[in-house]
Amino acid sequence: MSFLSSINPLFSLSGLLVGLIVGLTGVGGGSLMTPILVLLFGVHPATAVGTDLLYAAITKSGGTLVHGLNKTVDWRVTGRLALGSMPATLLTILALQKFGLQDAKTSATISFMLGIALVLTAVSLLFRIQLLAFAARHSGPENPARTTALTVLTGVVLGVLVSISSVGAGALGVTALLILYPKLPTVRIVGSDIAHAVPLTLLAGLGHWWLGSVNWVMLVSLLIGSLPGIVIGSKLAPKLPDGVLRPVLATILVIVGLRLIFA
């Protein structure tokens, strides 16, 4: 059987759906793709996470290129995040290798962490304005050294969370940066977060490949649907109300997240 004949059209259809949502909302790649693979297709959590990480690295590379050309990436912020996330990712991959990805406890831990990450993502989507207002009231005077340290720490948290669950680099990263850098334009926040997500998901994805938890046929199947889906969603986004889309997406994430937590 040839590689192309192994392409699963149901995976491509799922990729198209997720791509549309990502194009419409800017969120939902890892947050939706991994649970779809786990809950709908019965894919092993480790394989779903590993495959989705490389999927995210490829799809977000285009976004990084666009933001880079538009000069909407603050490479200083991206570098601080990477300073924390890269070592954290390597250590997390080594920990997964030590405990064994096929172990039942490891699989349950991945599913649990995925559920937690989905719920946190939903909270950041629903209550981003309130979170930012709360942070503004309690942030105190500007302290560059503290901001730098907290940015690196944010990178550490994202590195661990993304390596285990493939979720967190999008909505959680953007929310954290909005709190830490309130004077930075939102477009540069988003650009910096996407630019950081590429090396983070690539390193974590390659780590999962090393661990044997990447399904290449599934990856190609997903990309066949998601790449055009993102383009279509991006074109439709200005015509649809964001105030409706984000709450619906957040509700779905909470339901799926709780399902994984209490599985």
Q: What percent of the chain has pLDDT over 90?
A: 31
Element (H, E) at 105: helix 104-126
3-class state of residue 185 by DSSP: coil
State the average pLDDT over residues 32-59.
Answer: 89
Work out the pLDDT band at 200, boundaries 50, 70, 90.
Answer: very high
Q: Hey, how many other C-beta atoms are within 10 angstroms of the C-beta on 25?
A: 21
pLDDT in tens, 65-100: 877 787 888 999 999 999 999 999 999 999 988 887
Q: Domain locations in the chain?
A: 8-261
Distance CA 236, CA 20 (A): 9
CA–CA separation, 17 vs 30, rounded Å? 13
* DSSP secondary structure letter of residue 70: T
d(CA 254, CA 217): 29
Q: For tokens 């791509």, name the residue.
A: 19
CB–CB of 25/231 below 8 Å? no
pLDDT digits (tens, 9 = 90+) for 201-242: 999 999 999 999 999 999 999 999 988 888 787 777 667 666
Residue 222 to residue 229: CA distance in whole angstroms: 10
pTM of the model: 0.85
